[in-house]
């Protein structure tokens, strides 16, 4: 079994160094790092690494996680000899037993696997939890808000899921190579991994949530707010863009579900420091989503 790590980075050199240390300690056959046009010392630091497994892909501009993973996936498909691709951000650190445990997990013959992702305090990262079934409608979204366990796997139980997070996704290389165009770089960040995996699941590919496979995600613990506030722009806009990206009968969210999710983001302004700025980003996201504007716009 040949393995490749695919990491996307942008201006987070100190976290990238930790990510590299954790990744390089594992017996990956290849380690691909996409530098999303960083303006700090990332480029210089990467050039000084002496490891034959490292492949650096330099983007012309910052295209966000969506563009970075698409660029890296194209490189892997064309240049890398591997059976499995492990995808994660520069602030995610694979567990020391990841590859050893994956050898056993892969016997289930799924097309992709989703790791258990926890923050640095050991709490489950909700942003990286996959769906076992999608809350596609307004009523299901309301039910999901009240009873999320109906739509997500139990933290410690292996189970079938219908979506993946790009933090801790493990995908067969041939599956990734055949579906690169379903990674929409136009989204910049947020919902790119959900839409990608949801589309693959619609095509019949099977995913497994495998809690024995662990990643640490170096993010702040959830406190109800979205920081920095410009991030809410992409959360709102990209929900609306799904109306354009998917055919009517294949959309992950109904219009009612989208409106409810946007309302939930809007109500989160009470947790924000600069409430006016936050509300402006929500409104811009609504306007740009309706007018189908995409790419990096903050």
d(CA 259, CA 236): 9
Q: Model pTM? A: 0.95
Q: How many residues does the chain have?
A: 298
Q: Where residue 238 falls among pLDDT bands split at 50, 70, 90?
A: very high
At 225 the pLDDT is 72
What would the pLDDT profile of 60-72 be if each residue is shown by its tens digit?
A: 999 999 999 999 9
- 46 Cβ contact list (under 8 Å, min separation 6): 33, 35, 54, 56
Q: Where residue 227 falls among pLDDT bands split at 50, 70, 90?
A: confident
- 239 Cβ contact list (under 8 Å, min separation 6): 191, 253, 258, 261, 262, 289
What would the pLDDT profile of 150-164 be if each residue is shown by its tens digit?
A: 999 999 999 999 999
Range 3-217: architecture per CATH: Alpha-Beta Complex (3.90)
Contact 112, 40 (CB under 8 A): no
What would the pLDDT profile of 93-138 be if each residue is shown by its tens digit?
A: 999 999 999 999 999 999 999 999 999 999 999 999 999 999 999 9
At 221 the pLDDT is 66
Q: Where are the domains of the chain?
A: 3-217, 231-290
d(CA 125, CA 91): 13
């Amino acid at each position: 079994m040949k393995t490749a790590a695919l990491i996307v980075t942008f201006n987070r050199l100190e976290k990238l160094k930790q990510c590299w240390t954790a990744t390089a300690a594992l017996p990956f056959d290849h380690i691909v790092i996409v530098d999303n046009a960083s303006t700090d010392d990332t480029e210089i630091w990467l050039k000084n690494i002496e490891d034959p497994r490292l492949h650096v892909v330099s983007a012309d501009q910052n295209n966000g996680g969506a563009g970075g993973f698409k660029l890296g996936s194209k490189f892997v498909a064309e240049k890398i000899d591997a059976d499995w691709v492990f995808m994660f951000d520069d602030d995610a650190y694979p567990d020391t037993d990841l590859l050893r445990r994956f050898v056993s997990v892969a016997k289930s013959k799924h097309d992709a696997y989703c790791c258990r992702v926890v923050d640095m305090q050991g709490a489950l990262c909700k942003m990286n939890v996959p769906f076992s079934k999608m809350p596609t409608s307004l009523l299901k979204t309301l039910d999901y808000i009240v009873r999320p366990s109906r739509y997500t796997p139990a933290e410690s139980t292996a189970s079938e899921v219908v979506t993946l997070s790009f933090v801790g996704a493990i995908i067969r290389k041939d599956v990734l190579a055949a579906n690169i165009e379903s990674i929409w770089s136009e989204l910049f960040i947020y919902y790119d991994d959900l839409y990608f995996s949801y589309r693959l699941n619609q095509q019949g590919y099977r995913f497994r949530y495998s809690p024995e496979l662990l990643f640490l995600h170096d993010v702040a613990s959830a406190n109800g707010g979205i920081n920095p506030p410009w991030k809410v722009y992409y959360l709102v806009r990209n929900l609306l863009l799904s109306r354009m990206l998917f055919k009517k009968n294949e959309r992950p969210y109904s219009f009612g579900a989208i409106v409810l999710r946007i309302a939930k983001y809007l109500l989160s302004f009470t947790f924000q420091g600069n409430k006016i700025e936050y509300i402006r980003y929500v409104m811009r996201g609504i306007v740009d989503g309706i007018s189908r504007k995409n790419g990096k716009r903050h």
